[in-house]
Structure 1
Amino acid sequence: MNPIRNGAPLSIIEIAERSTDGRTFPFKCRCDDENLYYVKGKSANHRSLICEWMAGNLAASFGLNLPRCAIASAPASLIRLHPEGKDLGTGPVFASRAVENLNWISYASRGRVPLSIRRDILVFDWWVHNADRTLSETGGNPNLLFDASTDSLVVIDHNLAFDTEFDERLFLETHVFGDEWEPLCQDLVEMANYQTKLKQALDTSWGPAWKRLPQEWLFHDDEQTVLVEFDERACKELLERCTHQDFWRLA
């Protein structure tokens, strides 16, 4: 199944609760497909919604295991009934299907994850400049849900991708799978395979995802007079560096 839902936006029919996890405190909502979703709207800011959508499409094309993602909206009548409804808003929102009965990955269990998946996640985050997947013995914010019965992961939260202040060395020091970087960079065949896979994901998903992006997200205001600071051309150029050998080198 394609993790990205295309076609008409989902309609939110129930606002169940608001999460206390994460930085954006998403709403847990039921949509007209009868599934529950974690929904980020007006309070999350439009740049973060763009990052979620664009990086989510890239992640799905790359092959990461992420929940089904979609664009959704809530009717004004429903928003008025919720005490925090204004933080969700009536415009287009980003919805990620809720995954139940899984826990955050722990530092002790990260070694149980198959090597190929650990490397996939590390390389993808390096590619999109997503430093928001940290974990050490003292804690962190991995944004990974762990299924102990299968040693598999569900990848969530890309709202901080395309970080314009990305620190490569700090990324490798703090990423949950950062210790896989050095051995990976000694495997020329694996590096070449990843570069091919990344280029295919970029070619397949970036253009279509940008076309489906809600135009409202490109502006800070409802009048659409103040542009959001998201440079689509610069972000694509960042991703295109995967075609060059220095993709693997620290600046």
Structure 2
Amino acid sequence: MTASRLKAVEILRRSEQGLCRPFFIRDEKNDVYVVKGLDGVGKAALTSELICAELGKRLGLPVPSYGLMQIPQPLIDFSAVDGAKDLEGGPAFASRLIENATTLIYPQISHVANTLQQRVLVFDKWVKNGDRRLTELGGNVNLLWSSDEGLSLIDHNVSFSMDTQDDEILENHVFSDQGRCFDDMMTRAEHIAALDTALAGWDSIISLLPEAWIYRDPWDDDSEISPTLDERLELLQRFNHDDFWRLT
């Protein structure tokens, strides 16, 4: 099993939004992707992006399709786009651009099915993603909404924040009102089964990761970037404990 391989042909522009300010890049098939480079966000962040994309897909979440993008060095060297050198270092993470999508706003929450809201809330706690906050006053939600595709989940580079407390993940989460639903044992059982099925593909998921993202030194298996893959797996396995299902 391999991740889709993409080759960049044009660096279009850089986003003005977000801390990492990803790039919009056109590939050989004339498709546009939102791209984060290795030198820009780091190995741990790209690993988190790929793992979350794969876990999300296995959970039935609307995560945009992605690929590993090769960006030719001359394309970077001669680009007029500010900060293009952040795309150096190895394969980049490229997420398909959702056309005509806008950031989800508070009044649109009611357009999202309750079952999907619940699954997103569980997912974010599971992978320790604290970057999904939204209230009537605004926030950083990392969700897109389009009339054609509905909801899309994006930007998981801060996931697997091991020191982040679960309360911080849930505080002001865009779908925090769904937390009380998990007191129902049938609802909880449905989500436990889904997480168990998704995590059963762990070995296949991590086989998709480029070695350049995993190790500080590709010749030294003891130089694994933190959090390590074993640490990530241990974190994900905690859904088997009752404490995990306190989502309020």
**TM-score, with length taken from structure 1:** 0.90
Partners of 1:138 and 1:221 in 2: CA distance: 45
Please give the per-residue CA displacement for 1:41-95, whole angstroms capped at 9, x wherever unaligned.
0211111101001111101111100111111111111111114321111511100
How far apart are residue 102 of structure 1 and its match?
A: 1.2
How far apart are residue 167 of structure 1 and its match?
A: 1.9
8 Å contact kept, 1:136–1:174: yes
Unaligned runs of 5+ in 1: none
Q: How does 1:126-205 map onto structure 2 within 5 Å?
A: 126-147=125-146, 149=147, 152-182=150-180, 184-204=181-201
Secondary structure in 1 aligned to 2:191?
helix
Runs of 4+ in structure 1 deviating by more than 3 angstroms, as ranges, are 5-8, 219-227
Q: How does 1:2-81 map onto structure 2 within 5 Å?
A: 6-7=2-3, 9-41=5-37, 42-81=39-78
Q: Match for 1:19: what amino acid?
A: S
Secondary structure in 2 aligned to 1:140?
coil
Q: Percent identity?
A: 35
8 Å contact kept, 2:118–2:178: yes
Q: Which of 222, 236, 242 is residue 239 of structure 1 equivalent to?
A: 236
How far apart are residue 100 of structure 1 and its match?
A: 1.4
Secondary structure in 2 aligned to 1:212?
coil
8 Å contact kept, 1:114–1:151: no
User: Cα–Cα, structure 1 residues 228 and 130, in superposed 2: closer, same or farther, change >3 Å?
Assistant: same
Q: Which of 213, 226, 230 is residue 227 of structure 2 equivalent to?
A: 230
In the other structure, the counterpart of 2:213 is 217
Partners of 2:3 and 2:103 in 1: CA distance: 31
In the other structure, the counterpart of 2:115 is 116
8 Å contact kept, 1:113–1:151: no
Secondary structure in 2 aligned to 1:37?
strand
Partners of 2:65 and 2:3 in 1: CA distance: 13
Partners of 2:196 and 2:64 in 1: CA distance: 23
Q: Match for 1:166: what amino acid?
A: T
8 Å contact kept, 1:76–1:90: no
Q: Which of 238, 245, 248 is residue 248 of structure 1 equivalent to?
A: 245
Partners of 2:211 and 2:78 in 1: CA distance: 27
Q: Match for 1:214: what amino acid?
A: P
**TM-score, with length taken from structure 2:** 0.91
Higher deviation after alignment, 162-171 or 172-181: 162-171
In the other structure, the counterpart of 2:94 is 95
Secondary structure in 1 aligned to 2:11?
strand
User: Cα–Cα, structure 1 residues 46 and 133, in superposed 2: closer, same or farther, change >3 Å?
Assistant: same
Unaligned runs of 5+ in 2: none
8 Å contact kept, 2:124–2:169: no
How far apart are residue 150 of structure 1 and its match?
A: 6.3
8 Å contact kept, 1:172–1:179: no
Partners of 2:30 and 2:149 in 1: CA distance: 28
Aligned length: 244
8 Å contact kept, 1:6–1:70: no
User: Cα–Cα, structure 1 residues 7 and 194, in superposed 2: closer, same or farther, change >3 Å?
Assistant: closer
How far apart are residue 226 of structure 1 and its match?
A: 5.9
Q: Match for 1:9: what amino acid?
A: R
Partners of 1:231 and 1:164 in 2: CA distance: 11
